[in-house]
């Protein structure tokens, strides 16, 4: 009988039970554990993604490839990885706002406080208590670090990566925030979850821009979440009409997942959506200057993209609405806004709100545009 091995197993079980109890006490809905070498296919899949250029302008994905693909490259001493899941499922189908062209659609995850701050704060509490109990080193990560959270979460058994590439849970559908704690402690490992997508392709068919070249593959360059959040500068013309009134992210593929109907009820510690971010009016959002934007979106992840990029998105929604109530606001932005990005997109919006002759007449009387890209928007709209 190996007494030392028995003691190690008992210690691992006690520490595992402890971290799970802490996770539940701080509002996490799921907590499971995997090993740092549990995602052997991840490096090659990441390389294929990058080789095809599916990451678009997200250069940081290439820059952090080695650390992202292999957890031990990120931290050589890690022995166990604890994955946490927090339910953020909406109370209603978020696609309802898409049929209201005078309203703006903000992705469900961004309708409340910035989840990075909330989850990291909770993880730090768990890590502090765990380190004190275990006498081991710990590190916590939430999305912004080069950690492949979705493959690790699948390996830990929180769910599986669906055909839309996001994590799907049998108990929470496609609505889970993820966080991780790396530790030098040996913990009890969980089994990976099996893929339960079957022949379903609801998420793939729901995508407005056909951003999935194949099941389990995402071309971010066509994804509305990428275009409205990560992409800088003018959004390619071909995608603008498809964006509709989605001004920050897109929930269509997530909301289409049939597993959402099995989602467990929300916990008391779930992040609650701000009422004023569920269906904000486009007219109001077009009034936001930089100070008003920062104030209105204080504590929200929307704030991170900055006012100019945000108003660019709102102008696309205004143009797609075909509603002339936004005409004067778009004219004012095209003439006087300090941002060339905003002025250029306002020109495009006006071309959608006016008929052809009205737009050409208005364009002929406007003040000269000093920015080449903004001027190009006027020329393309007149063509």
Express each pLDDT in 85-99 by its tens digit: 999 999 899 999 999
Q: Is 233 inside a domain boundary?
A: yes
Three-class secondary structure of residue 256 per DSSP: coil
Which candidate, 50, 42, 288, 281, places its Cα nearest to that of 149? Answer: 42
Residue 165 has pLDDT above 50, yes or no: yes
Contact 48, 203 (CB under 8 A): no
356 labeled part of a ligand binding site: no
Contact 169, 64 (CB under 8 A): no
Q: Is 136 inside a domain boundary?
A: yes
199 labeled part of a ligand binding site: no
Q: Is 295 inside a domain boundary?
A: no
Confidence band, pLDDT 50/70/90 cuts, at residue 267: low
Range of the domain at 122: 3-280
Express each pLDDT in 305-340 by its tens digit: 999 999 999 999 999 999 999 999 999 999 999 999
Express each pLDDT in 136-150 by its tens digit: 999 999 987 899 999
Express each pLDDT in 43-57 by its tens digit: 999 999 999 999 999
197 labeled part of a ligand binding site: yes
The rounded distance, in Å, linking the Cα atoms of 40 and 75 is 16
Which residue(s) pair with 140 in the sheet? 181
Which candidate, 85, 91, 105, 108, places its Cα nearest to that of 254? Answer: 108
93 labeled part of a ligand binding site: no
225 labeled part of a ligand binding site: yes
Q: Is 199 inside a domain boundary?
A: yes
257 labeled part of a ligand binding site: yes
Contact 115, 108 (CB under 8 A): no
152 labeled part of a ligand binding site: no
pTM: 0.94
Strand extents, DSSP E, the chain: 30-34, 80-87, 105-106, 138-141, 160-161, 167-168, 176-183, 246-248
Active site (catalytic) residues: 143
Q: Is 319 inside a domain boundary?
A: no
∠ CA 41-194-72 to the nearest 5 degrees?
Answer: 35
Give the helix, strand, coil percentages of the chain, each rounded to 5.
50, 10, 40
Confidence band, pLDDT 50/70/90 cuts, at residue 270: low
| DSSP secondary structure letters along 82-115 | EEEEEE---SS-GGGGGG-TTB-EE-GGGSSS-H
Q: Is 318 inside a domain boundary?
A: no
The rounded distance, in Å, linking the Cα atoms of 217 and 227 is 17
CA-to-CA dists, residue 7 to 4, 82, 187, 326, angstroms: 5, 21, 13, 70
Q: Is 194 inside a domain boundary?
A: yes
Our count of domains for the chain comes to 1
pLDDT for the residue numbered 250: 98
Confidence band, pLDDT 50/70/90 cuts, at residue 262: confident
Q: Is 317 inside a domain boundary?
A: no
188 labeled part of a ligand binding site: no
Signed CA dihedral, 233, 234, 240, 245: sign only: positive
Backbone angles phi, psi at 165, to 5 degrees: 75, -5
330 labeled part of a ligand binding site: no
Residue 187 has pLDDT above 80, yes or no: yes
207 labeled part of a ligand binding site: yes
∠ CA 96-98-102 to the nearest 5 degrees?
Answer: 115
Backbone angles phi, psi at 66, to 5 degrees: -60, -45
């Amino acid at each position: 009988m190996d007494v030392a091995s028995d003691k190690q197993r008992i210690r691992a079980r006690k520490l595992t039970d402890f971290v799970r109890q802490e996770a539940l006490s701080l509002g996490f809905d799921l907590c499971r554990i995997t090993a740092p070498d549990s995602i052997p296919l991840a490096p090659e899949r990441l390389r294929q993604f990058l080789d095809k250029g599916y990451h678009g302008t997200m250069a940081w994905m290439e820059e952090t490839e080695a650390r992202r693909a292999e957890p031990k490259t990120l931290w050589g001493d890690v022995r166990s990885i604890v994955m946490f899941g927090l339910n953020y499922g909406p109370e209603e189908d978020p696609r309802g706002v898409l049929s209201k062209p005078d309203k703006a659609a903000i992705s469900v995850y961004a309708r409340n406080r910035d989840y990075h701050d909330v989850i990291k704060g909770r993880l730090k509490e768990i890590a502090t208590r765990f380190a004190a109990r275990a006498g081991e080193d710990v590190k916590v990560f939430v999305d912004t670090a080069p950690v492949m959270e979705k493959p690790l979460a699948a390996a830990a058994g929180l769910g599986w990566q669906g055909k839309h590439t996001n994590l799907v849970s049998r108990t929470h559908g496609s609505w889970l925030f993820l966080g991780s704690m790396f530790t030098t402690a040996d913990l009890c490992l969980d089994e990976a979850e099996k893929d339960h997508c079957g022949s379903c392709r609801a998420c793939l068919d729901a995508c407005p821009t056909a951003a999935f070249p194949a099941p389990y593959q995402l071309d971010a360059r066509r994804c509305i979440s990428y275009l409205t959040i990560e992409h800088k500068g003018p959004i390619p013309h071909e995608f603008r009409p498809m964006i509709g009134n989605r001004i920050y992210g897109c929930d269509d593929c997530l909301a289409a997942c049939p597993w959402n109907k099995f989602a467990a009820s929300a916990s008391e510690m779930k992040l609650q959506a701000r009422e004023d971010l569920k269906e904000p009016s486009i007219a109001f959002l077009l009034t936001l200057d930089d100070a008003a934007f920062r104030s209105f979106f204080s504590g929200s992840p929307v704030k991170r993209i900055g006012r100019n990029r945000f108003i660019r998105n709102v102008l696309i929604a205004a143009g797609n609405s075909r509603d002339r109530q936004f005409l004067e606001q778009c004219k004012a932005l095209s003439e006087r806004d300090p941002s060339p990005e905003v002025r250029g997109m306002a020109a495009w919006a006006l071309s959608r709100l006016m008929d052809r002759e009205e737009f050409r007449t208005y364009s002929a009387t406007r003040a000269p545009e000093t920015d080449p890209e903004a001027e190009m928007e006027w020329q393309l709209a007149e063509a």
